[in-house]
Every structure is written in structure tokens, then in C-alpha cells.
Amino acid sequence: MTRFFIVAITLVFAALVLPGAVAVAQEKSGAPPHEKFLYVACVNVGGQDPDFLAVVGVDPRDASTYGKLVHRVDMLHVGDELHHFGYNHDQSRLMIPGLFSGRIYILDVADPMRPFVITVNEDLVSRSGYTVPHTIIALPNGNNLVTMIGANTKSTAPGGIVEINGETGEYVRDFGPAADRNFDQVPPTYMYDAGIKLELNRMVTTSFGLPGKIGGGITIDGLGTDIYVWDWKERKVIQKVNIGAGTGALEVRWRSEHGSTIGYTNAPGTNEIWAWDDLDGDGRYNFKVVIELPAGSVPTDMLLSNDDKFMYVANWMGNNVRQYNIEDPLKPVFVGQVEIPYAQMIRLSPDNRRLYVTNSLISTWDDMEFPKGITRNEEYGIFLVDVDHDKGGMKLNRGFHVDMMRVQKKYTVGPARPHMMLFDASVGSEFGHH
């Protein structure tokens, strides 16, 4: 018994004194690998510098990089508005779209600490007719799927999906209908995110809103109304569901359980999280609200733990991240929350223990005046939340914070807006991960 207590105390001491002790123990026990670097899409503030990809050290075993911005990859132009990005099929490249410019930057990540731009494709909008590239998903055939929020038309409708080459970013073909269609007859009208469930032959896509109505700043009236269910193999919409005006559904998060027909999306025009299911197996998906956040909440990002136990919701205007138990998937239970200013994008570690958080949504929305006269250009940063994945609960890690208010950019020192994050390729990812 005495020996047991000595060993236990030694392990606790090591975990407290040596930042990497827990990570080492986890990898020796066969747990998922600890992430080493965090890639963060950052949008310049000030108009003088290009946007950049930040490389942040997140391996506590390396004190020289942990919690630090160790490398910056500047884009080649000013005003791209880096937003969401993804890997190609073998994770040898990062594909980074410019939301406003339509460019596709291709980065080599052979050295995970020092990615660099190898090419940029300028022809996606002109060749496809679609605009505003958003979600990037790697395909088994070597190409990437890209959701396009709008089209090069007067109304900026419709949204759609294209395939691009996973090495060059070049337009390959449309995934589904072309941009020049009659979208009143051939859906979708809106496009934002996409989530694929191969074993069901289904894909779900969401709406946010048309660029011409929402691109200039916050407007609830301009948010999209629809969620679409697709036949994956046929590449066509088979069900259109209107969840209401001013909803603007964003992320698509299927449960990872094989064969599960249940998934979720967040509606930032409301305080709601929606779920869908086909539990009766009739081929038609049912949609309903399963979470109502407190009044005044704006749920702008969400994800599920890798074992479908918990859901995490970033509440942008509520300044917090909330945790829900979803073991009963259509009856989520609120567990707790942690306070973070303007919490926006979230990324969960492979072992479900660390939740990284950024706090920029999009430049045109960040820059608007908020209630109480608060201007958003304050407190940009990258935060870490420690998660109790066994019993539930979260706590802000005070030993990790990346200040994005005084960043060395290409020409100036100042604020940069951190948005989407990805881990380095050492942690791996499954099909559809984005």
C-alpha cells in the first residue's frame, strides 16, 4: 500500500511540475497522439498586411514552443479574408481559400512547424461561376470538395459545391448542379457547410446566407432559411427543409457512430441548436430544436467529442463556451460553461481533453458596434480549455494564451483576427473531417 501511494504522489508531482508528463503518459498508454502544432487562419486588422496562417506550439513537452506563435505564413495578397481551410487527401498540403478573394492557397506541410506557400490558384470563381469558397473536405480520389456560399450573379445566388485538384487548387468540376441553373427549381439556393455520412449515402448542407445580404455585416433578415439533405452518390438534393427566417444554419456535425442518422447544426440568428434524424428509416429526415441557449446567445460554432459523449457550443455574444451531455442524443443536458470573450471557433484534441478557442467571426461582423458601445477590436486571442471528459466540466487553462493584439505581421505590429484552427497532420483525421 505504501508503495502505491509513493507512485501515485510521484505521478501527480510530475504532472504538476513537468508540463509534458501527462502527454508522455498518454502516448505510452496507447492513447491518441498529442497534437504538436495548431494552425490558425488569421485575418489582418488595419488593411496594410496580408492575412496569414499562424503556427502555434501546443505540445507541453516542448517549452520552447508551447503556447507561442512559432511561425507565420503570409499570404501573397492583401484582403483575402482567410476563414476555413483543410488538408488534401494525404495531408501533405493545406488548402486555404480566401473567403473574399476566391483564391486558393496551397501550402506544403512536410515540415509541420514551417509550412510554406507553394502555389496559389486564381481561377476558381471565373471557371466555376461560384464565389466565396468556404468548407474544404478531402476526397478519396485526390480532389477536395469546396462549398461555395454564393455565385457570380446580381443576387449572389445560388450557393453550390465544386471539386478542386488536391495538389494545385484548380477547378475540376461542379459537385451537383452548376451555378447558372434556375435555383428556384433546382436546389440548393444557399450553401455554407457540408457533412458527409458515407455509410448512409447522405450529405447535409446548410445556409448561413447569400453574400450580397450578409457579407457587409450583421443582418438577421439576410440569413438563410434552409437545410438540404443530399444523395451523396447521385450528387443531388433530395430533401429541402426550411427551419425558419433568420436562422442561418452553420456547422454540420453528424454523430460519428457508424450508421447513426442523427446530426446537429447551430442557428446563429437564433439561440438554437437543431438536430436531425431518420430513426424510422423512411428516408425522410426529421428536424427539431434540441437546445435553446439563454436569451441573447449567438451560437456560432459547435462540435462533438470524438466518442459522441459531449457537444461543445461557442456562444459568440454570450462570451462563453458551453458543454452538453449528448449520450441521449435528442435530449442534450447542459453540463457547464467557461467564459471567453467573443468565443467563436473551437477545436477539440483527439483524446477529448483539450478544447482550443479563438474569438473572431468574420472581419465585417467583428468591426460592427455591439450593444453597450463595445467595439469588437479588443482581446483577440487563442485560448485553451481543459475538459473533464469523464464526468463533464471545463476550466480555462491560465497557463496557455496566445495574445493576438500585438502580433508581428509582414509590415506592422498589431492585432490579427484568429478564426479556424486545425492540428498538424501527426494526429491524423478521418474522411470528412473539417
> Could you report the per-residue pLDDT of 329-387, keeping only the tens digit for each?
999 999 999 999 999 999 999 999 999 999 999 999 888 755 444 455 568 999 999 99
Q: Does residue 33 or residue 148 have the better pLDDT?
A: 148
For the cut 50, the answer to whether the pLDDT of residue 31 exceeds it is yes
For the cut 70, the answer to whether the pLDDT of residue 408 exceeds it is yes
Distance CA 118, CA 109 (A): 10
pLDDT bin (cut points 50, 70, 90) of residue 4 is very low
Q: So what's the pLDDT on residue 372?
A: 44
What mean pLDDT value characterizes the chain? 92
84 burial via Cβ count (<10 Å: 0-12, 13-18, 19+):
buried
- Going by C-alpha positions, the residue among 92, 93, 50 that lies closest to residue 74 is 50
Query: What's the average model confidence in pLDDT over 378-406?
Result: 96
Distance CA 285, CA 279 (A): 8
Q: So what's the pLDDT on residue 373?
A: 42
Query: What's the average model confidence in pLDDT over 72-90?
Result: 98
For the cut 80, the answer to whether the pLDDT of residue 428 exceeds it is yes
pLDDT bin (cut points 50, 70, 90) of residue 32 is confident
Distance CA 239, CA 287 (A): 11
Distance CA 421, CA 31 (A): 22
431 Cβ contact list (under 8 Å, min separation 6): 138, 140, 196, 198
Q: So what's the pLDDT on residue 217?
A: 81
Contact 183, 158 (CB under 8 A): yes
What are the strands of the beta sheet with 143-151, ordered from one edge?
130-138, 143-151, 160-165, 171-174
Contact 291, 269 (CB under 8 A): no
**Residue for grid cell 428516408:** 283
Tens digit of pLDDT for each residue in 275-320? 999 999 999 999 999 999 999 999 999 999 999 999 999 999 999 9
Q: So what's the pLDDT on residue 28?
A: 54
Q: So what's the pLDDT on residue 213?
A: 94
For the cut 50, the answer to whether the pLDDT of residue 117 exceeds it is yes
Distance CA 349, CA 303 (A): 11
Q: What is the pTM of this model?
A: 0.92
C-alpha cell at 292: 435553446
